Structure 1
Amino acid sequence: MKKSLFRLVMLLACFQLLSCAEDDGLPIVDSKVLVDIEAYNSAFAGGLVINSLEVKRDFLIINFSASGCDGESWEVKLIDSGALMYSNPPQRNLILSLKNEEECEAYITKEVVFDISELKVKGDKVWLNIMNSDQGIIYTY
């Protein structure tokens, strides 16, 4: 009887360990950064306010606000110019582009997450200038 109870307890403990999902705290990615000089030069960079920037591993988390109805139809892109400025640390220029055709007067705040792993350069960090923001951020890898 004791062996059966012990086996049952061990089986339940193993099941519990195997069924737990590991949460590493990484955000759900909305999109990858687009590296394209033509898209960068033609991007509409107005109509939004960038509230905060945060880098978590290879992800840039941008909190922004804009007017609209609910923000569900918004098309948000992070576009890199493709140019690298050689300084210490090196710098890249990016624009957060928002296509917003909503005609409501609500003011909506959203958070978007971009995979920025393609922005790595030689060394271990790069400064990201967000051109339609008064903020920039260091990306260390």
Structure 2
Amino acid sequence: MIKKISFFVVCIFCFFNTQCDEDEVVVDFDNLCDDTVIIDEGLYNNLISDSFLLSKVEIIDDCLNIELGASGCDGSTWEFRLVDSGAVAESLPEQRYLKFQFVNKEDCLAAFERNVSFNLKPLQIDNGVNKVILNIEGWESSLTYSY
């Protein structure tokens, strides 16, 4: 009788031991964008950019998505930065001023488009209305970032 009980306990232990936990999927919502906006007045004032064409600019959740076109070999070495001036215009809602920097070291004449996105959370202002107007140099209209 003791052998049967011992065998049964060992079988139950083995059964529970073989149960695998499901892998927990953790989504880091702060890193869904390609990069993060930089707030730096000096960099903003001295920003130099290579030629590019903004095709589309839109805010999705906390990301500013930018579609741009430029000449190059394949666009794989292009570098991007989104820089905020650090200044906040006192309006309702407040406004911020940004510049997009594009660095292109490719010497080919083919035309390419790329999409890049920037996390806007550093631009949030505790203003009670949870929104800020973004003015991006080179883009014809302002964008409202609601958070």
TM normalised by structure 1 equals 0.78
Q: When the two structures are aligned, how many residues end up with a matched partner? A: 128
- Tell me the C-alpha RMSD between the 2 structures: 2.5
Structure 1 counterpart of 2:51, from 47, 51, 67? 47
Q: List alignment gaps of at least 5 residues for structure 2.
A: 1-19
Q: Which runs of 4+ in 1 moved over 6 A?
A: 19-23
Which has the larger Rg?
A: 2
Change in 2 beyond 3 A, CA 1:80/1:55: same
- Is contact 2:77-2:104 (8 Å) kept? yes
Distance across 2 between alignment mates of 1:30 and 1:86: 30
Structure 2 counterpart of 1:127, from 123, 133, 138? 133
- Is contact 1:27-1:113 (8 Å) kept? no
Partner SS, residue 79 of structure 1:
strand
TM normalised by structure 2 equals 0.75
Distance across 2 between alignment mates of 1:111 and 1:27: 16
Distance across 2 between alignment mates of 1:32 and 1:40: 15
Q: Does residue 1:100 correspond to 2:100, yes or no?
A: no
Q: List alignment gaps of at least 5 residues for structure 1.
A: 1-14
Query: What is the correspondence of 1:102-117 to structure 2 with a 5 Å cutoff?
Result: 102-117=106-121
